[in-house]
Amino acid sequence: MHFECLQDSPKDYISSLLVLEKAPHVVATAWDGTLSLYDYEANELLLRMKHENGLLSSVWSACGKKYVGSVQGDILEVDLESERFELVSEEATLGICAMSSNSSNLVAGSWDGSLQMLDMRTGSIWHNEKLGNGKILALDSNDETVVVSYAGGKVVTYDQRNMNTPVIRDSGLKFQTRDIKLMPQGNGYVQSSLDGRVAVEYLNDESLRFAFRCHRMNLPDTQFVFPVNALAFSPTNGHLYTGGSDGKVFAWNLNTRKKSEELPKLDESVVRLAISSKVLCVATADDSFKTLATIQDAETQSGQIYFTKL
């Protein structure tokens, strides 16, 4: 298995990455406000739209609707034919950093702690709340459950039939969460952190929970620990893929609790993963600015998008 690089990658840090199941298409948003649509089979850029503000998140819903979240806190619907962004909600005061969708709802989380639920059939926000005083870090959803990680080491889960009775848990990770994903069966979730660790949690049986270390480099006198930035479950075999700042992507069998695959190392940090039954896509970037000791005007290099057919 080897990676191919998509041509004409975005010129700024890639903030979200999607791969479509029904077409050979990859979608990427970036901090420069661009949304890029690629055909990975032809290795061709099909469309690039640009918004005036940076874009942080995106979803391509099963019902065919497409949304992005901006750094200004706006939820925008994407019209590919007219190449326009239509404002749906501006209720958040800070960036829409995470999005997910299921058959009828869009879930959006913001740096200001806002959690919004949008009925995609009517275009109306039917649930909007603030999660404590901490910003939302990552979220995921399916038709029954929403899971949200937010600052302060907390994870909250909702049954979408009754959003007024959330269940709040400690994250199980000592350091900040980087990504969170529901298991394909919906019976639990996984979350990754800055300290090279992944926690596996079960919704109805906490005795099954466990965590494992990954994306580490062992040397004779020390150990380098890399953030685990991205998670994705294979829709075919259910294996969990992890991407880290060491430039590596691993696959894990959570049933046996063992690594099932190690992909070729990439030159820069893996910041996003997306997978379908046919292809695995990886976005990389120089994310060293995240670990600078002081605030600086750090110039981020353009990202790259790689893919490998499964």
Domain spans of the chain, in order of start: 14-135, 188-289
Enter the pTM of the model: 0.94
List, in sequence order, every beta strand (DSSP E) within 90-244: 96-101, 105-110, 114-119, 124-130, 136-141, 145-150, 154-159, 162-170, 177-182, 188-193, 197-202, 210-213, 216-218, 223-225, 228-233, 240-244
User: For the purposes of burial, counting CB atoms within 10 Å of the CB of 295, is it exposed (0-12), middle (13-18) or buried (19 or more)?
Assistant: exposed
* Window from 155-169, 211-225, 285-299 with minimum mean pLDDT: 285-299
| Percent of the residues in the chain that have a pLDDT greater than 90, as a whole number | 86
User: Quick one: average pLDDT of 71-97?
Assistant: 96
Condensed to tens digits (0 to 9), the pLDDT of residues 39-55 reads 999 999 999 999 999 99
Question: What tokens does 280 get?
Answer: 């695995």
User: Quick one: average pLDDT of 152-181?
Assistant: 93
Among 310, 305, 225, residue whose Cα is nearest residue 270: 305
Q: Please give the CATH topology (third level) of the domain spanning 14-135.
A: Methylamine Dehydrogenase; Chain H (2.130.10)
pLDDT above 50 (res 293) = no
User: Quick one: average pLDDT of 74-89?
Assistant: 97
According to the model, what pLDDT value does residue 286 have? 85
Among 270, 274, 272, residue whose Cα is nearest residue 286: 270
According to the model, what pLDDT value does residue 139 have? 98
User: Quick one: average pLDDT of 191-211?
Assistant: 95
According to the model, what pLDDT value does residue 62 have? 85
**pLDDT-based confidence at 292, cuts 50/70/90?**
very low
pLDDT above 50 (res 8) = yes
According to the model, what pLDDT value does residue 128 have? 95
Contact 189, 140 (CB under 8 A): yes
User: Quick one: average pLDDT of 256-284?
Assistant: 97
The Cα 33–Cα 308 span in angstroms is 26
Q: How many CB atoms lie within 10 A of CB 80?
A: 12
Using only C-alpha atoms, the chain has a radius of gyration, in whole angstroms, of 18
Among 100, 140, 101, 133, residue whose Cα is nearest residue 114: 133
- Identify which has the larger pLDDT, 219 or 272: 272
Class of domain 188-289: mainly beta
User: Quick one: average pLDDT of 258-268?
Assistant: 96
Torsion of the alpha carbons at 99, 275, 102 and 175, rounded to the nearest 10 = -40
